[in-house]
Amino acid sequence: MKLLSVAVPCYNVEPYLEKCLSSFCGEGLEDALEVLIVDDGSQDKTAEIARGFVAQHPEIFRLIEKENGGHGSAVNAGIDAAAGKYFRIVDGDDWVDTGALGDFLRRLADTDTDLVVDQKTRVDMVTGTKRFISLPAEIPFGKPVSFLDYSGDALCHFYSLHTVTVRTSLLKEHDIRLQEHCFYVDNEYLLKAMAYSSYVTFYNLDVYRYLVGNQNQSVSHQSYVKRYGQHERVIKECLRFAAREEWPPALRAYMRRRILPLLRTHFLIALVYNENRAQGEQNAKAFWTFLQRDYPSYARAVARRRRLSWLLHRLGFNDERLERLKKRLHYSKSY
| Three-class SS of the chain | CCCEEEEEEECCCHHHHHHHHHCCCCCCCCCCEEEEEEEECCCCCHHHHHHHHHHHCCCCEEEEEECCCCHHHHHHHHHHHCCCCEEEECCCCCEECHHHHHHHHHHHCCCCCCEEEEEEEEEECCCCCEEEECCCCCCCCCCCEECHHHCCCCCHHHCCCCCEEEEHHHHHHCCCCCCCCCCCHHHHHHHHHHHCCCEEEEEEEEEEEEEECCCCCCCCHHHHHHCHHHHHHHHHHHHHHHCCCCCCHHHHHHHHHHHHHHHHHHHHHHHHHCCCHHHHHHHHHHHHHHHHHHCHHHHHHHHHHHHHHHHHHHCCCCHHHHHHHHHHHHHHHCC
Low-confidence ranges of the chain (pLDDT < 50): 217-219, 331-335
Instruction: Quote the pLDDT of residue 329.
Output: 60
Instruction: Quote the pLDDT of residue 50.
Output: 98
- How far is the C-alpha of 30 from the C-alpha of 27, rounded, in Å? 8
Quickly name the fold that domain 4-212 has.
Spore Coat Polysaccharide Biosynthesis Protein SpsA; Chain A (3.90.550)
- Domain ranges, ordered by start, for the chain: 4-212, 221-325
Instruction: Quote the pLDDT of residue 335.
Output: 33
The pTM score is 0.91
Instruction: Quote the pLDDT of residue 330.
Output: 53
Residues 253, 258, 261, 265, CA torsion sign: negative
Instruction: Quote the pLDDT of residue 138.
Output: 87
- How far is the C-alpha of 219 from the C-alpha of 225, rounded, in Å? 10
